[in-house]
Structure 1
Amino acid sequence: MATLSYVNVFAKDIVALSGFYQGVFGFPEIEAIRSPIFRGLDTGKSCIGFNAHEAYDLLHLSAFADTRGIKFLLNIDVDSRADVDRMVPVAVAAGATLVKPPYDTYYHWYQAVLFDPEGNVLRINFMMPGDEA
Structure 2
Amino acid sequence: MNITISLASFISEEFVALFEFYSTTFELAEVEELHSDIFRGAHVGDMTLGFSAPVVYEMLAIQEWSDPKGTTQYLTFEAASDDEVSTLTERAVVNGARLLHDPYETYYGAFQSVLADPDGNVFRINHFR
Q: In 2, Cα distance between the equivalents of 1:63 and 1:90?
A: 35
Tell me, which stretches of 5 or more residues in structure 1 are unaligned?
Answer: 129-133
Moved more, 40-49 or 109-118: 40-49
Tell me, which stretches of 5 or more residues in structure 2 are unaligned?
Answer: none
TM-score scaled by length of structure 2: 0.95
1:99 is paired with a residue of what secondary structure? strand
Aligned residues: 128
Q: In 2, Cα distance between the equivalents of 1:64 and 1:81?
A: 36
Q: In 1, Cα distance between the equivalents of 2:36 and 2:87?
A: 32
Note the aligned Cα RMSD (angstroms).
0.9
Q: In 1, Cα distance between the equivalents of 2:106 and 2:16?
A: 33
Offset, 1:64:
2.0
Same amino acid, percent of matched pairs: 37
2:33 is paired with a residue of what secondary structure? helix
Any conservation in 2 of the 1:12–1:118 contact (CA below 8 Å)? no
Q: Deviations over 1:17-47 (max 9, x none)?
A: 0000111100100010111111110011312
Residue 68 of structure 1 aligns with which residue? 69
Q: Which amino acid aligns with 2:50?
A: G
